Amino acid sequence: MPAIRFTARGAVTLPDTLQVAVGTTFAARLPVGVAQPDRELTLDELEANVRHFTRGGPRSRPVTRLVLSAVGAGHPVLDGIGSLRRLGIDRVVVHTDPASAEACAAAVDHVAVFVRAPQDLEPLERVDRLGVTVPLEEEVLPRLGSLLSSVRALRPQRVVLAWPFPVEGRSPPPPAEEVIRAIEGCGTLLAGLSFTVKGLPPCVLAPLRRGIPDLAERTGRTTNRWYVDVEHQLDRALLFVPDVVRFAKADTCRFCEIDPRCDGVADAWWRLGLAGALLPLREGEVS
């Protein structure tokens, strides 16, 4: 039986992934409620946290996957990946900026970047094992088609169209209906891409089923993980869900065919009404 932790939001299965915010950059991607770090995590601190979470125990689950955030080209942590693997890590992902992606790629299994304009993709042409996240933000939607055209040319391993989580200092995302219209206009560009849509549930995205028959397979729950930064280390680490990001659902969601594998909507956006109505899907309505 998987190890679980009881939280104020209910029981949570303990994750097998650890995310560590190493640097002080990427302030524009810090979830609301997570303080901007005032210094970098040291290499000794990083190793101590990885050792702590790979150890396991009767009430814990050893992690095997590591996500390193805010790591740029030439960062010393890239030279220490081998020692982290020897502690029991079998997959390492780096979240970085496009300009640093190529330098980071050689040391890790996968590199993930955010792109908001076609020019963001120029440094990525020689990067293997690449994941591209396109944030479905107000300023991105008008150029979504040209951006996805450039993404197709890159042929990344994975593309995520992400209706954003609440992020410190950034405006709320556009309403769901605007996002759906923008994606509908890009159907041919998405064909053949390995892509997922995050942040909006299948019931809200239902109009897209005409062009994306396997829509339900291209959505899913947020991968939970332990979250470590300078202020939250070892036993003080956070669970990404629900400590960092919280989701909300309608009361009627319990009648939905896919309720067990759906997050719902980020709580802040649900309270603002940005997602619209959440309507239960029934058998036969799920692709």
Question: Cβ of 268: how many Cβ atoms within 10 Å?
Answer: 15
Using the predicted structure, report yes or no on whether residue 79 has a pLDDT greater than 50. yes
101 within some domain: yes
C-alpha 207 chain-centroid distance: 24
Confirm whether 10 is domain-assigned.
Answer: yes
Q: CATH number of the domain at 185, please.
A: 3.20.20
Q: Does 124 map to a domain?
A: yes
Beta bridge partners of 21: 69
Whole-number average pLDDT of the chain: 89
pTM: 0.90
pLDDT digits (tens, 9 = 90+) for 135-163: 999 999 999 999 999 999 999 999 999 99
Instruction: List pLDDT tens digits, range 156-204.
Output: 999 999 999 998 778 899 999 999 999 999 989 998 899 999 999 999 9
The amino acid sitting at 84 is L
| Residue 268 placed within a domain | no
| The pLDDT value given to residue 27 | 45
Whether 260 is covered by a domain: the verdict is no
Please determine, for residue 254, whether its predicted confidence score (pLDDT) is greater than 60.
yes
Instruction: Please say whether the dihedral angle defined by the alpha carbons of residues 252, 258, 263 and 265, taken in this order, is positive or negative.
Output: negative
Domain membership of residue 283 (yes or no) is no
Compute φ and ψ for 144, nearest 5 degrees. Answer: -60, -40
- Residue 173 belongs to domain spanning: 4-246
For 204-222, write each residue's pLDDT tens digit. Answer: 999 999 888 888 889 988 9
Task: Look at residue 26 and tell me if it is in a domain.
Answer: yes
| Count of domains forming the chain | 1
